[in-house]
Amino acid sequence: MKNEFCVTGKEAKKLAKKEGTTYATATTGGVRVRESASSEEGTTILDVLEEGGKVEVDADAKSKKGWVAVKVGDETGYISAEYVDVELELGEAVSIEEERAAIEAEEARKAAEASQKSQSAGSAGSVQREAVAASYDDVTLLGALIQCEAGSECYEGQVAVGAVVMNRLRAGYAGSISGVIYQSGQFSPASSGKLASVLASGVSGSCLQAAQAAIGGTDNVGGATSFRSASSGMGGIVIGNHVFF
């Protein structure tokens, strides 16, 4: 590789910090994200992380000794440094072919979304809610959960699972997409290791597309925040093999 196309040493570290994202990952369960860098009783709790749950570090926040500043929605929260591992994560390199395929998939998604809006905006249980700002890792994490829960379902069923996560986020279940997904006792793939396995092996294109649609505001489950197998007999909106309520 020609030198003019790469950087090394201090320049590489500087670029890595600029292009990468630093995360704090909980090393135990029940890690509290506090409104301020204080463990005193009465301090507002913004979120609670399960073991393995991670949140983005707020690099712009003022540092506090013994605490890690993290992003919780539009707020800054603090986690005791004793209970998290902080690590800079960088995206994986892709080939030109992979990049082109991703661009084409995104263009197809936008075209389909535009067509759907023009034909029947807000029809048949599907509404367009406000989009949520999300990082590449948020999209990947949500896509991985969708693959675990509805990887063999139709595309609408995959979007529906993503919509449930986003509806929970809007309802205040947690302050971030990862917080919702890793919330205790909610999504079994997050605690069983299945989610981590999918993240390690790669997420399918349709599940990533469904995640982008859900984050972009598509809600085809009427605001539902839960789902079960359609065979459970639970009342609600049936999409594929799941019922959403």
* Pairwise CA distance, residues 188 & 208, whole Å: 20
* Pairwise CA distance, residues 47 & 77, whole Å: 9
pLDDT at position 124? 46
**Spans in the chain with pLDDT lower than 70:** 91, 111-125
pLDDT at position 74? 86
Amino acid identity of 207? C
Q: Which of 200, 207, 194, 105 is nearest to 154 (CA)?
A: 207
For every residue of 129-155, DSSP letters joined together read: -------HHHHHHHHHHHHHHHTTS-H
Cβ–Cβ under 8 Å, residues 208 and 199: no
| Residue with tokens 């994490």, as numbered in its chain | 141
pLDDT at position 216? 95
Domains along the chain with CATH numbers: 3-89 (2.30.30.40), 96-244 (1.10.10.2520)
pTM: 0.52
Q: Which of 52, 237, 75 is nearest to 172 (CA)?
A: 75
* Both structure tokens of 199: 């993240």
Task: Write the CA distances from 68 to 30, 93, 96, 177, 221, integer angstroms.
Answer: 16, 29, 37, 19, 37
* Pairwise CA distance, residues 71 & 134, whole Å: 12
Q: What's the number of CA atoms in the CB half-sphere (13 Å) around residue 144?
A: 24
Residues 6+ apart with CB under 8 A from 199: 140, 141, 144
Cβ–Cβ under 8 Å, residues 16 and 90: yes
3-state SS, residue 205: helix
Q: Angle 226-227-229 (CA atoms, 0-180°, nearest 5)?
A: 160
**How many of the other CB atoms lie within 10 Å of CB of 76?**
18
- Rounded to 5 degrees, φ, ψ at 161 are -65, -40
* Pairwise CA distance, residues 113 & 80, whole Å: 42
Pairing mode of beta strands 31-34, 67-72: unpaired
